[in-house]
Amino acid sequence: MPNRRIKWYRNLPASFIVLFFVCLSSNIAAANRLNSHEPQVNIINSPTWVDMQTYTVADFVDLRSPAHYHLVDKQVSGVAGKQVYARFVYSLTDPSGIESNANIHIRFNPAYEVLNIHGIKVLRNNKVVNQLKRSDIEVINAEDRQNSNIYSGEVEAVVLLKDVRVGDVIDYSYTVVGSNPVFADKFSAGATIGWGVTVDKINVAVLMPSNRPLQYKLFRSDAKVKKQTKDTNTLYQLTLLDTAEIFEEDNIPSWYTPYPHVQFSEYQSWQEVASWANELFAVDKTPSPELVEFISNLKTKPLNDAIDEAINFSQNQIRYLGLELGENSHRPHSPAETFDHRQGDCKDKSLFLSMLLNELGVTASPALVSSVNRQHVNDYLPSHGVFDHAIVNIQLNGISYWIDPTVTHQGSKLVSKFQTDFGSALLVNPTSTKLVSAQPSLNNHSSIVVTENIIAADYSSAVEWRITTKMTGREADNLRYRLKSEGQVKLAKSYLNYYAKRYPNIESLDQLSINDNRGDNQITIVERYLVVDFWRLNAQQHAEFELQADFSSQYVQLPKSIKREQPLAIYPNISVEHKITLQLPEHIDFSTEVDNASYADQHINFDSQISNDRRLLIFSNIYQAKQDHVAVADVAAHLSLLNDIAKRMSYHNSITNVSQDPGIQSMQNLLKNLNQRRLATEQNAGE
Amino acid sequence: MSKAMLSRIKWTVVAMGLATLWACSSTKVNNAQATSTNVPNLAPAKLSLLQFNQQLEQELNQDPLSSLQSKIDVLSIARHLRLKHPEQYANPLNTAKVAADVKQQLISGMLDVSQTFSWHYLRSETFKDNSLAAYYRIDSDGGYSYVTLWLEPDSYQIYDFHSVSYAFSALDFVGKFSQLFTQYTNSQSQLNNLVKALQMNELDEAVRIYNNLDPLVKNDAALHDFLLRKYSQLPAENAKKLQTIVLANLEQPGKSSLLFEAHYIQLDNFAAAIKMVEGLPLFALQDSKMQSELAILHAYNRQFESAVSYGRQAILAEPNQREVYFVLLQVSFLAKDYGLSLALMDVLVAKFNYVMSPQVISEFEDGLSFIESGEYQSWLTQRMNS
């Protein structure tokens, strides 16, 4: 089964990976009322500029299963407008191959592109056994980002091949003609030249007028791009034979791709990209009467309050909605429109917020970033295609802030808002000439502190379990969002059910207590439970117990791919402290259990401690991420460290001779009586 | 009356305690005794924090002076004075002098405590800034209070002392109170006169000076802490003269002092008494004594559900202490919750080997009603037959 890269590659109208803004996105078409352009699909011959490629089909027994790719051919012409030609030839060698490869999907945007299909052939014993008709082609909406409120206007031409059999060769080709005018004829494109399956022949070619030279760069490949002059044009070409199958390991950093690829760009510098962006963002900034009033109102407040209100309004009162049809895939809507409609995508909200802050006399500008590549944007050639997101850079009191106006439910003050580390950014302002560091100098770290107090009155009755969780940074933002969107009751239920996996008879003693200090961006949740199944009496009449200080375990999981050739991602900028205090009815000497262990490498720190105090046994684990990934050379040692850490997530012990205490039965009865009353009080309060 | 009842309960416990056996046997290493034995006689640096505090507890209860001389470090006090109040204690000579004075005050204060109270170590806490607090309860027949000893993390040397009755620790108070005089220069003379009047026990004059102070100065937390400390040192009759101005501060939202719990109990103002207890820091509030205190106060305030809840918390906090069961037993009698009364008596008999005779029960308020109840009669009959 071809991996997702092949499938995606086949589906795009361009045969190259074109990195659009995520917030713009380019997936399934909007409903008709969103996109007024009628899709144009033609069945015509291949353009004459295309260099037809040959391929060979070996004997069936020598073919790979479930599909054998003979040829993947992508050719782009920038000579007379943009035309992107693609051709795929593959044999279906197994029924599972037919299932996944007998349907053809070709994506394009009818606002500025026309689809010319040259042929979709089914070859059997070297003979074409089908005839493509226009009626075979269905055009459907392709808005697969609508769950993220993004509508791009794209459509998919779909052909469901009939009578396809094992042994058939599928050979189809098409050209998507046209390009988004917002790119102002500046050429930028990329192509994958290695996939999760072997391909007999990959051909990539770009034909450009010679007076529009391209830069190109190869990633993870030793292939060479051949340049040759053809009349007044230049052809950039690379052909690869028998390309190796690429395995994508799990848990790789977002900025890392194992797939070899090539990037082409007409931009000679980041300054050129900045100029393009500046022109794009130069929309009409004339405010509407309502917006004028809003700004006037802001100006009456102390500056810091006004700044906070402007940001909070942009984040929480402007609905995130990407109507990215046509030029609006990259050109923002005017601030007045964003304000009046109370909706916008990342570039709309960034421009709107920047405008508001500028009106307050604050230096602020939109900034283009890549949520996938982060600081590795620097690795790519200058291009409009490397960015997928827009945020706002604010300069205030000597501090540079990086605020994302698409994030909701953040802390209420600029100085306490969590700032994502996007690594590098291109500012959209007249003085921007290069990428700048977008690493926040503050508030880019999140913390979780879990404090558990387990109080046991004896060694058999239910214990009272109090859990206090304090979150800051992104964790506080996420929890706040969850509280508001799910509601406290649902959250409490989910917590209870989570604990019930360990303690099936657990009961809640109190409603969740939530303290949201939005000014400092700290949320504290307090939970109280009665746990009947905490103690387990074993055959020797010892009361066994287990303490699990494992909140950080989600950050130290072993990946599926242990033997690795690709880096391992680490969730960055997080610290987690989990401390459990078990209070016993009497003092028990745990001094022989006292232990301090530290596990550290250059990527993470983990400190584990067992200590005791009067009537207390204390078990704590503190985890801290220091980097966002582990290099391949360090993976083996790091995974060995994770194995050691995993053993420190829980602590077991037992208390001896517990059933010999006099009054054990009467004590159990009394505690049961009191606990039932306590539970009844909680249930009445809930009603 | 409640205070008397509480004292009476405690007396009963103490008196009866002599006649009972401590029947909580186990093969666990230590029983739940307030004092610990078998603490290695090592220099403090080699002891664990628990061992240090167990040793200190023992010494404070037996021979505090020699212990305190070696465990309170002038250099440490001086260092923390400079850290807390850098502007006031920039001069090393002056700081050293103040630190020496503070040490003497700490020793004499703690000696005074040891004469009247017994020390009971609760637990320790390390904070994010690495500061280390050791929490103690001080017990007497008259009641309980709580103190925090601030210890150097490496050497466990004591450098500060904070009674829960006051807003500030000793070092904080020293710094903030002397800051008063530099902060409110226009009121310096009045403040000096106020201090003098209080030193001379001229309390009427002190009140007059206070009332004439600038409102900003009057509301200063350090000044109020000073007045509260002075108040607590005075004999009861004299203390009343300062009571109005001290109480006026404590009755504001967010303010309280355990010193005045008894005052409100005497007035039958149990809600206010509860407020005085609820203002305690968490380590003290969660202690069994204070949970029992809240239980009985809520009971007298006719809030029986809350009273039982606090009584339950007291048991959870210290299940091997007889007193917590006695307090909840008293609550159950007041609430006429005889099912609970019987469950508690079962524990007192089986776990603590108490003889719950009618004489003992009648000592409790509303105990007679319980004795005359059908539930008690059935319980008695059952026990006689078993």
> Counting every residue, how long is chain B?
386
> Is there a domain that residue A681 lies in?
no
> Is there a domain that residue B363 lies in?
yes
Structural domain harbouring A467: 446-672
CB contacts < 8 A (A, B): 108
User: pLDDT by residue (tens digit) across B273-285?
Assistant: 999 999 999 999 9
CB contacts, 8 Å: A657 with chain B:
26-28
Count of domains observed in chain B: 3
Phi/psi of residue B71, nearest 5 degrees: -105, -5
Taking the CA atoms of chain A, what radius of gyration do you get in angstroms?
A: 31
> Is there a domain that residue B28 lies in?
no
**Range A278-283 contact pairs with CB under 8 angstroms and sequence separation of 24 or more:** A278/A428, A278/A429, A278/A430, A278/A432, A279/A184, A280/A182, A280/A330, A280/A331, A280/A332, A281/A331, A281/A332, A281/A347, A281/A351, A281/A366, A281/A428, A283/A331, A283/A332, A283/A333, A283/A334, A283/A351
Closest CA to A419 of A313, A281, A572, A552: A572
Paired strand residues for A472: A447, A522
* B249 and B281 together in one domain: no
For residue A498, give how far its alpha carbon lies from the nearest alpha carbon of chain B (Å): 25
Q: Which of A416, A437, A458 is the last residue of a domain?
A: A437
* A587 and A542 together in one domain: yes
Find out whether A367 and A415 touch, Cβ atoms under 8 Å. Answer: no
Q: Which of B140, B163, B186 is the last residue of a domain?
A: B163
**B47 to chain A: closest CA residue:** A591
* Interface probe with B: pick from A540, A614, A656, most Cβ of B within 10 Å: A614
* B225 and B340 together in one domain: no
Residues of B with CB under 8 A from a CB of A: 23-33, 36, 48-50, 53-54, 121-124, 305, 308-309, 311-312, 315-317, 319-320, 339-340, 343-344, 346-347, 349-353
* B44 and B153 together in one domain: yes
Q: Which of A437, A471, A494 is the last residue of a domain?
A: A437
* Interface probe with A: pick from B351, B354, B382, most Cβ of A within 10 Å: B351
B40: left (phi over 0), alpha (psi -120 to 50) or beta: beta
CB contacts, 8 Å: B23 with chain A:
662-663
For residue A519, give how far its alpha carbon lies from the nearest alpha carbon of chain B (Å): 21
For residue B195, give how far its alpha carbon lies from the nearest alpha carbon of chain A (Å): 40
Find out whether A91 and A66 touch, Cβ atoms under 8 Å. Answer: no
* Interface probe with A: pick from B24, B25, B28, most Cβ of A within 10 Å: B28
> Is there a domain that residue A583 lies in?
yes
* A261 and A351 together in one domain: no
CB contacts, 8 Å: A616 with chain B:
123
Find out whether B165 and B259 touch, Cβ atoms under 8 Å. Answer: yes
Q: What pLDDT, on the 0 to 100 scale, is given for residue B15?
A: 27
DSSP conformation class of A251: S
> Could you say which of B31, B316, B350 has the minimum Cβ distance to residue A586?
B31
Query: How far is B258 from B144, CA to CA, in rounded Å?
Result: 9
* A523 and A667 together in one domain: yes
Q: How many helices (H) and strands (E) does chain B have?
A: 21, 4
> Is there a domain that residue B295 lies in?
yes
User: pLDDT by residue (tens digit) across B143-184?
Assistant: 899 999 999 999 999 999 999 989 999 999 988 998 888 889
> Is there a domain that residue A404 lies in?
yes
Q: Which of B123, B138, B163 is the last residue of a domain?
A: B163
* B87 and B195 together in one domain: no
For residue B26, give how far its alpha carbon lies from the nearest alpha carbon of chain A (Å): 6
Cβ-defined contact of A587 to B31 (cutoff 8 Å): yes
Mutual angle of helices B92-116 and B64-71, in 10-degree steps: 150
* B43 and B147 together in one domain: yes
Find out whether A591 and B48 touch, Cβ atoms under 8 Å. Answer: yes
Q: Which of A437, A466, A487 is the last residue of a domain?
A: A437
Cβ-defined contact of B347 to A670 (cutoff 8 Å): yes
Q: What pLDDT, on the 0 to 100 scale, is given for residue B246?
A: 87
* A403 and A478 together in one domain: no
* A470 and A537 together in one domain: yes
Q: What pLDDT, on the 0 to 100 scale, is given for residue B7?
A: 35
> Is there a domain that residue A107 lies in?
yes
* A645 and A500 together in one domain: yes
Cβ-defined contact of A613 to B349 (cutoff 8 Å): no
Count of domains observed in chain A: 3
Is residue B358 predicted with pLDDT exceeding 50?
yes
Find out whether B182 and B98 touch, Cβ atoms under 8 Å. Answer: no
* A506 and A402 together in one domain: no
**B21 to chain A: closest CA residue:** A662
Give chain A's end-to-end CA distance (angstroms, integer).
55
* B109 and B206 together in one domain: no
> Could you say which of A614, A666, A678 has the minimum Cβ distance to residue B350?
A666
Q: Which of residues 445-464 of A touch B (CB under 8 A)?
A: 455, 457-458, 464
Whether chain B has a CB inside 8 Å of the CB on A613: the answer is yes
- Which of the four pLDDT bands, split at 50, 70 and 90, describes residue B4? very low
Cβ-defined contact of B339 to A586 (cutoff 8 Å): no
* B157 and B188 together in one domain: no
| CATH assignment at residue A128 | 2.60.40.3140
* Interface probe with A: pick from B123, B304, B310, B356, most Cβ of A within 10 Å: B123
List all residues 6 or more positions away from A579 whose beta carbon is below 8 Å from its beta carbon.
A449, A450, A451, A452, A549, A618, A619, A620, A621
CB contacts, 8 Å: A534 with chain B:
none
Q: What pLDDT, on the 0 to 100 scale, is given for residue B29?
A: 26
Find out whether A390 and A282 touch, Cβ atoms under 8 Å. Answer: no
Whether chain B has a CB inside 8 Å of the CB on A670: the answer is yes
Q: What pLDDT, on the 0 to 100 scale, is given for residue A682?
A: 82
* A188 and A310 together in one domain: no
> Is there a domain that residue B190 lies in?
yes
The two three-digit tokens of residue B195, written as one number? 């201090």
**A455 to chain B: closest CA residue:** B316
* B310 and B347 together in one domain: yes
The two three-digit tokens of residue A66, written as one number? 């479930």
> Is there a domain that residue B2 lies in?
no
Query: How far is A184 from A173, CA to CA, in rounded Å?
Result: 27
> Is there a domain that residue A580 lies in?
yes
* A291 and A406 together in one domain: yes
Structural domain harbouring B54: 35-163
> Could you say which of A585, A656, A665 has the minimum Cβ distance to residue B320?
A585
Strands (E), A78-142: 83-92, 103-108, 114-124, 127-128, 137-141
> Is there a domain that residue A202 lies in?
yes
> Could you say which of B30, B122, B347 has the minimum Cβ distance to residue A667?
B347
Find out whether B322 and B290 touch, Cβ atoms under 8 Å. Answer: no
> Could you say which of B29, B33, B319 has the minimum Cβ distance to residue A588?
B29
Q: What is the mean pLDDT of chain B?
A: 85
* A592 and A651 together in one domain: yes
Q: What pLDDT, on the 0 to 100 scale, is given for residue B45?
A: 55
> Is there a domain that residue B23 lies in?
no
Mean pLDDT by 10 residues, chain A (687 residues): 26 28 34 65 94 89 90 94 94 89 91 93 90 88 76 87 92 93 82 93 96 96 94 96 94 96 96 94 91 97 98 96 68 93 94 97 97 95 93 97 97 96 96 96 96 96 97 97 94 96 96 96 97 94 96 97 97 97 95 96 98 97 97 97 97 90 91 94 78
The two three-digit tokens of residue A580, written as one number? 């459990």
* A304 and A236 together in one domain: no
* B227 and B281 together in one domain: no
> Is there a domain that residue B314 lies in?
yes
> Is there a domain that residue A333 lies in?
yes
Cβ-defined contact of A666 to B351 (cutoff 8 Å): yes
* A367 and A231 together in one domain: no
Find out whether A658 and A537 touch, Cβ atoms under 8 Å. Answer: yes
Q: What pLDDT, on the 0 to 100 scale, is given for residue A142?
A: 82
> Is there a domain that residue A465 lies in?
yes
CB contacts, 8 Å: B351 with chain A:
661-663, 666-667
| CATH assignment at residue B338 | 1.25.40
Q: What pLDDT, on the 0 to 100 scale, is given for residue A27?
A: 31
**What is the DSSP code string of A160-193?**
E--S--TT-EEEEEEEEE---GGGTT--EEEEE-
Which has more confidence, B36 or B77? B77
Q: Which of B143, B163, B183 is the last residue of a domain?
A: B163
Cβ-defined contact of A663 to B312 (cutoff 8 Å): no
* B40 and B156 together in one domain: yes
- Cα separations (Å) of A639 from A225, A291, A561, A650, B59? 39, 55, 11, 19, 50
| CATH assignment at residue A363 | 3.10.620.30
Whether chain B has a CB inside 8 Å of the CB on A595: the answer is no
Q: What pLDDT, on the 0 to 100 scale, is given for residue B254?
A: 80
